[in-house]
Chains A and B, each alone.
Chain A
Amino acid sequence: MNTLLLLLGMAAVTYPVRAGLWLRGGRFRHG
């Protein structure tokens, strides 16, 4: 159970850093 929670915790902090792809287009575009 603890191991599963650890894995879910690791996944929970990993997905959001990749989820920038979700943002509305062009938010990071410059100029």
Chain B
Amino acid sequence: MLIGAAPFGVIYGTLAISHGLPVWATFLMSALVYGGASQFIAVTLLATGTAAPIIIATTFIVNLRHALYSAALLPAVSTLPRSWRAGMAWFLTDETFAIVFHKLDSGEPVHLARFYMGSALAMFSNWLFWTGMGIVLGHSLPGIAGWGLEFAMVATFVGIVVPLLKDRSHVAAALAAAVVAIAARELPYKLGLMVAALVGIGVGVLLAPKAEDKP
């Protein structure tokens, strides 16, 4: 996963610089927000002149999945002191969740706090390092904004979403969001993105198999 994050960090840093985000802000976003998907979208929205409140609201929606991660990990971490958990929450990302949840799921004995913070800090410093590499690349290749790197971001999201479409409700949610995103693309402030996300969530919830239907 450390290696897997490298291209995203580099592309993020490069895109941010080529779209005119200052170096300090590009780096600080990786440190403060520390969520690749939301950072990509924020940079893209910034480049199109989207208003800050819309970018912040989009960040919230994109990162909302972390609430599910924290809920899933809560039973395992609830015996740890709150001060520890406050720090752990800062570093909760897709990768850290995947690594920790897999470890817990394996049933192997583990010192959870050390394992969590070890993997989380490795991912965090890795993300900052590759962001830095992207910043350097963005500076050394000033014309890189015209290279179509944005498409790498689109391909990445497609690659993340498609394997997750496991039943009809997932596919319907994705299709509904896609149709609404295209239909609503003329809405001001890029609001179409938020409307599409909400419609997708609504369709997914409506069509999701009920808990009592499951064996």
Interface residues of A (CB under 8 A from B): 2-15, 17-29
Contacts and interface: CB of A to CB of B under 8 A. Distances in A.
B86 interface: yes
B63 A7 contact: no
A18 B90 contact: yes
Contacts of B46: 6
Contact of B33 (A3, A14, A19, A29): A14
Interface string B33-73: 11100100010001000001101110110011011011101
A28 B69 CA distance: 12
Contacts of B82: 22
A10 B85 contact: no
Consensus secondary structure, chain A interface? helix
A29 to B, nearest CB: 5
Contacts of A21: 70, 73-74, 77, 85-86, 88-89, 92
Nearest to A5: B52
A13 B90 CA distance: 12
B89 A26 contact: no
Contact of A4 (B25, B60, B64): B25
A10 B56 contact: yes
Consensus secondary structure, chain B interface? helix
Nearest to A6: B52
Contact of A22 (B22, B59, B89): B89
Contacts, number: 100
A16 to B, nearest CB: 8
19 contacts: A6-B42, A6-B46, A7-B33, A9-B59, A10-B32, A13-B56, A13-B59, A14-B66, A17-B60, A17-B67, A18-B63, A18-B67, A18-B90, A21-B77, A21-B88, A21-B92, A22-B85, A22-B89, A25-B78
A26 B78 contact: yes
Contacts of B35: 14
Given A7-B25, A17-B67, A18-B66, A25 B79 contact: yes
A6 B53 CA distance: 8
Contacts of A12: 56
Given A25-B79, A26-B75, A7 B28 contact: yes
B145 interface: no
B21 interface: yes
